Structure 1
Amino acid sequence: MLINILAVSPILVGGGAAVVSAIATFAVIHSIAVAKQQTLKHKLDRQTEEAKKEAEEILKTARIDASSEFMKRREEFDKECNQVRKELRDQEKRLSKREDANQRQTELFAEKEKEIAVSQNEIQERQKRLSARESALTDIIAEQKKVLLQITGMNVQEAKELLLQRLEDECEHDMNVVIRKKVEEANETAERKSREIISSAIQRFSAEQCCESTVSTVDIPNDDMKGRIIGREGRNIRAFEKATGVDVIVDDTPGVIVVSGFDPVRREVARLTMERLIQDGRIHPTHIEGLVEQTRKDVDQRMLQIGKETATELDVRGLSNKVLGKIGVLKFRSSYGQNALQHSIEVAYLSQVMADELGLDGSMARRAGFLHDIGKAIDHEHDGGHPAIGAEFLRKFNESPVVLNAVAGHHGDIAPDNPYTPLVAAADAISASRPGARRETLERYIKRLRSLEEIGNSFKGVSITYAIQAGREIRVIVNADEIDDNSAEKIARDIANKIENEMTYPGEIKVTLLREVRCVEFAK
């Protein structure tokens, strides 16, 4: 038994150890489970807290988004409401304007009805008076018939012929009165319309204007060049003047020499030749003659090119090279300081504008205006005025009769046979007589202004006279105590007549007379 107990003891010891080990294991596992449970609980608590915070953030964001969406929707709603209100206000304004317009139209209709009623009454009264007059005339005519038959012993047929003759004379008199009245009205209308057309043409076209001179200057590198230009005993300068036909002035002015001549083409040839001689350095008679000839050809080619470019600019087609060359010559011609080519361009544009206003062919008017002064390019080669010379020159190139008549008659030398000739003449006068177009010497200009003021001041009752608008207008101020309205009109007319009789001037001069009454009182 002891042996059995000894034998069982290890088993019990082993089982107890196992139990203890199991209990220890269980305790460890339990502690691990408790730790994991606590860790999981902490994790769950943390996740719960994070979930709560995230939920709060989501709620906060949702509230913000909802508030933003609400504000956005509120702004859109307010904007739509404002737009609707604005449209309603605009509709109210339009309706108010329509109501006002309808009210005015109603008032106008009422006034028109009253006027029509008054006119009808007047017409009825006139008809009654006319009927009464017709009856009276019938009675008078019957009495005159009886008297004539009694006095002259005429029969009815003879008396009828006499009365018809008398009526015819009376009708002819009345007809002459009506014709004269209509002619006066037509003249007034034509004058007003012509002023409008000319004003419109002037306003629609503007051009730069520069005065031409009869001398050209050539820059030289140093004063030693002057001696070389003059040459030994003046042979170089004499050869140059003989070849070019101009005068060369070499004086003490430093750095320049002057080329003078009345012909602008010769002067241009001389200027270019002199510049080429100075650049080349070879200055002797033989070289001068050859260079002058070459320069003359270059200038001719340049004038042809200028003519082509100008014709292209104005859209004037079908001109031969000879005509275009003469157009280019106008670039170097001037009249009273006004460049002839620029003047022709102005006249072309002004003629076209006025022709368009009148319903005429603007291209034909532009062509006639462009060619009207071509005679100035060749008038020094032939006898006669430039209108006739230009027309004869263009006739050789089969120019149209309308253009020929405009060229020959733009100064009134021949009678116009088409409406374009007066247009070209008017455009020529506008371009030539506008202020600043043509140059006067300072002495003549001041003398003309002084003469205008002296003429105005020479009349009794004139306080002072001013010449304004470059001498195109004088302003006369009279004493209101001495001059009444009727006398003022007479004085203005007398001043204009005196200016016409005693002075020579381009264009026209406007006389403006002012009569001013000033009443001055003092409040004390």
Structure 2
Amino acid sequence: MTVGDIATIVGLLVACLVALLLVLVARREADAQRARAADDVASIKDEARSLLTDAQRREARAAAREDELSAEQHVLTDRERAVRAREDAVAETDRSVARRAADAEREAAERLASADREARGRLEALAGLTADEARTQLIAGLVADAVNAGAAQVRRAEVQARRTADARAKRIVVTAVQRTVVATSSQSAVTILPLPSDEMKGRIIGKEGRNIRLFEALTGVNVLIDDTPDAVVLSCFDPERREIAQSALEALMADGRIHPQRIEAAYADAVAGADDRTDAAGHDAAERAGVTNLHPELVRTIGRLRLRTSYGQNVLEHLVESALLAAAMAAEVGADIDVARRGAFLHDIGKAMSADVPGTHALVGGELARRFGESAVVVNAIASHHDEVPPDTVEAVLVQAADAASAARPGARREELDQYVERMDKLEQLVAAHPGVRRALAMSAGREVRVVVEPTEVDDFALPQLAVAIAKHIEADLTYPGEIKVTVVRELRASATAG
């Protein structure tokens, strides 16, 4: 046997020993695992037995607790029955007490009513009055006291309101007048035009005065050149003729060519441009017053008032000033500013048509404004500004105040007091000269005359004839703006004395 064989045998033996050792180790590990598994199974069994024992004990305790709860439920049920029985007994007792109380109350009421009737009978016998009569007297006395107290309270409130209102009204008017800046001088019967140069005087006069004579003959206006330095004065009582002359002379001075043919052409152009000047004046006045959306016919009618004066005050300027005053006062009192402004601007528009349409300028103006689409409040403000119709809104009253403030502004009107008194006296004397007139009273600044007649001399049937005769006499002998209303009054009194 060789060494190689020996080595092979040895290797085989070693491998067998190793394999045997591995088997022994594996068997030992398997035994250990089986032992551990057996221990785990035993532990689990012990734990299961313990849990089963605990569950049995808990089940026993639950059954015992359920028995206890059932017993308590029976006890509570018995107690509830007892409480219900007790409540029923208490309710029955309450009903019995209520019946007794009601019976006692009814008995007491009957006794009280009987005692009241007895006492009332004794009082009626002592006072000599029945209860209804005493109640009537008491109520009458209380009502009289309340009426007296209320009347006194109303008088105190009226005095306080009047005092406050007067102070506030003065403040509003003063504030409005101070805020409105307008010219205060009255209109005059002359127009002054500045001369561009001294040589223009000679051109206006013309050779041997032929230009100035023709100009005066055409226009009906006196031309004064030498009275005022560097100016020409046009003098005429008719403002329309004076305006035409002004327009013609301005055109001649602007052209520079002044001769008879040119004068005639300038005069014809001035006459033809009257409507354009009227429209321009109306639009300018409406713009200055802040009034918009006027009907074109109203604008044209307003423009005619540029040539109309009232006691020396230009009516168109008066309308613009009145509109500004009314708007300022409306803003102070919280009224409608646009209505007040519009009514004040249009309030004298009837003066442009009073010569063509019968009626006072206030009523004519109101009808004209209504016809051309003005609102009812504006129409009422126009028609009522002289109290010929009652004012319906506070804006209408503000129009009256603005009209009076504009007319009363110092320097606005130039009629003197003695002239006014003389005119009123003349009117009253003219009316008083009629037979049967006992007294004549000029009222509303001469717009109305009230005539009191002797009842023994003038009967009721003669009153209309007398009124017509007086009106015709005034028309024939007096010159006055607008209309004068004649009212004849006949009063008959009878008295007797018993002896």
TM-score (norm 2): 0.51
* 2-structure distance, mates of 1:205, 1:325: 25
Which of 307, 313, 321 aligns to 1:346? It is: 321
Matched, 1:221 2:201: yes
* 1-structure distance, mates of 2:145, 2:174: 44
Which residue of structure 1 lines up, in the alignment, with residue 260 of structure 2? 283
Matched, 1:150 2:150: no
TM-score (norm 1): 0.49
Distance change in 2, residues 1:375/1:280 (3 Å): farther
> Is the partner of 1:221 in helix, strand or coil?
helix
* 1-structure distance, mates of 2:410, 2:224: 36
Which of 380, 390, 395 aligns to 2:370? It is: 395
Matched, 1:178 2:153: yes
Matched, 1:240 2:218: yes
Larger Rg: 2
* 1-structure distance, mates of 2:400, 2:122: 64
Which of 326, 330, 341 aligns to 1:355? It is: 330
Which of 299, 310, 316 aligns to 2:285? It is: 310
Alignment of 1:97-108 (within 5 A): none
Which of 264, 276, 283 aligns to 1:301? It is: 276
Is the contact made by 2:354 and 2:364 (CA closer than 8 Å) also made in structure 1? yes
> Is the partner of 1:216 in helix, strand or coil?
strand
Amino acid at match of 2:324: Y
Which of 326, 332, 347 aligns to 2:307? It is: 332
Which residue of structure 2 lines up, in the alignment, with residue 501 of structure 1? none
Amino acid at match of 1:221: K
Question: Structure 1 stretches of 5 or more lacking a match?
Answer: 1-144, 446-524
Alignment of 1:127-138 (within 5 A): none
Alpha-carbon shift at residue 441 of structure 1 (Å): 6.0
* 2-structure distance, mates of 1:193, 1:342: 27
Matched, 1:199 2:174: yes
Is the contact made by 1:372 and 1:387 (CA closer than 8 Å) also made in structure 2? yes
Provide Cα deviations, 1:130-175, integer angstroms capped at 9, x if missing partner. Answer: xxxxxxxxxxxxxxx9887536x33222222222223222322222
Which of 394, 405, 409 aligns to 2:384? It is: 409
* 1-structure distance, mates of 2:407, 2:243: 25
Distance change in 2, residues 1:382/1:291 (3 Å): farther
Alpha-carbon shift at residue 365 of structure 1 (Å): 1.4
Which residue of structure 1 lines up, in the alignment, with residue 135 of structure 2? 160
* 2-structure distance, mates of 1:148, 1:340: 79
Which of 373, 395, 403 aligns to 1:420? It is: 395
Distance change in 2, residues 1:349/1:254 (3 Å): closer
Range with bigger deviation, 193-202 or 435-444: 435-444
Alignment of 1:445-484 (within 5 A): none
Matched, 1:364 2:339: yes
Is the contact made by 2:184 and 2:409 (CA closer than 8 Å) also made in structure 1? no
Distance change in 2, residues 1:320/1:289 (3 Å): farther
Alpha-carbon shift at residue 266 of structure 1 (Å): 2.8
Alpha-carbon shift at residue 249 of structure 1 (Å): 6.2
Count of matched residue pairs: 293
Is the contact made by 2:216 and 2:222 (CA closer than 8 Å) also made in structure 1? no
Distance change in 2, residues 1:388/1:262 (3 Å): farther
Distance change in 2, residues 1:225/1:364 (3 Å): farther
* 2-structure distance, mates of 1:309, 1:329: 12
Which residue of structure 2 lines up, in the alignment, with residue 116 of structure 1? none
Higher relative contact order (CA 8 A, sep 6+): 2
Alpha-carbon shift at residue 259 of structure 1 (Å): 4.4
* 2-structure distance, mates of 1:360, 1:440: 34
* 1-structure distance, mates of 2:249, 2:379: 40
* 2-structure distance, mates of 1:260, 1:383: 32
* 2-structure distance, mates of 1:146, 1:194: 64
Distance change in 2, residues 1:258/1:396 (3 Å): same
Alpha-carbon shift at residue 291 of structure 1 (Å): 4.3
Percentage of identical aligned residues: 36
* 2-structure distance, mates of 1:328, 1:200: 29
Which of 180, 185, 207 aligns to 1:210? It is: 185
Is the contact made by 2:350 and 2:363 (CA closer than 8 Å) also made in structure 1? yes
* 2-structure distance, mates of 1:356, 1:164: 49
* 2-structure distance, mates of 1:271, 1:294: 12
Alignment of 1:105-116 (within 5 A): none
* 2-structure distance, mates of 1:226, 1:395: 56
Provide Cα deviations, 1:454-479, integer angstroms capped at 9, x if missing partner. Answer: xxxxxxxxxxxxxxxxxxxxxxxxxx
Is the contact made by 1:376 and 1:390 (CA closer than 8 Å) also made in structure 2? yes
